[in-house]
Structure 1
Amino acid sequence: MHDIIYIRANFEPWWMFEGWQDQIISQQQFTLAENARNCLEELKKEFSQRFAENEQREVAFSCYWNEEEVEYCESCEEDLQIFHGLIWLFNGNPQTSF
């Protein structure tokens, strides 16, 4: 099963820190890799228009952000950058190639 996941968090998606699933905004499941890739490409195109900055790590991780989008962290007493991440999982693991 292929999952395309959108998270909004104060860390880049490739870190997948414990509890990262709590940051999921949406998740779509596909049986075929081609359908998952098409969905991911559409989301990447949309996010590229919405956010000024981006970084890609392998096929599995895409990260988007705008410098001015920060949220205050009470426990660390500072503003943290907010990242919008796309993650492609295959059978629960990051998809590393097509």
Structure 2
Amino acid sequence: MHEIIYMKTDYEPWWMFDGWEKSVVSRHEFTSAKEAMGFLETLKQDFSYRFPEHEQRNQAFYCYWNEEEVEYCDKCEEDLQVFHGLIWLVDGKSSTSY
């Protein structure tokens, strides 16, 4: 099973810190890599228009942000960058080839 995940949090998606699932905005499941790739490409194009900054780690992690989009962290007592992450999982795990 292929899964495309959109998460919004204060760290890049490739870190997948404990509890990262709490930051998931949406999940979409696909039976084939071709379907997942088509959906992911549509999201990447949309996010590229909406967010001027981006970074990719292998074929599983994509991160988008806007320098002005920050959230105040009470615990840290400072503003933290907001990141919009896309993750491609295969059978629940990130992979570098599809």
TM range (shorter): over 0.9
Q: Which runs of 4+ in 1 moved over 3 A?
A: none
Report how far residue 57 of structure 1 moved.
0.3
Structure 1 unaligned blocks of 5 or more: none
Structure 2 length-normalised TM: 0.98
Which residue of structure 1 lines up, in the alignment, with residue 90 of structure 2? 90
Question: Aligned-residue CA RMSD in angstroms?
Answer: 0.5
Q: Return the letter of the residue paired with 2:6.
A: Y
Q: 1:31-88 deviations in whole A, cap 9, x for unaligned?
A: 0011001110110000000001000000000000000000000001100000000000
Report how far residue 97 of structure 1 moved.
1.3
Task: Report SS of the residue matched to 1:34.
Answer: helix
Structure 2 CA distance for aligned equivalents of residues 14 and 58 of structure 1:
10
Which residue of structure 1 lines up, in the alignment, with residue 44 of structure 2? 44
Structure 2 unaligned blocks of 5 or more: none
Report how far residue 95 of structure 1 moved.
2.4
| Number of residue pairs the alignment of both structures matches | 98
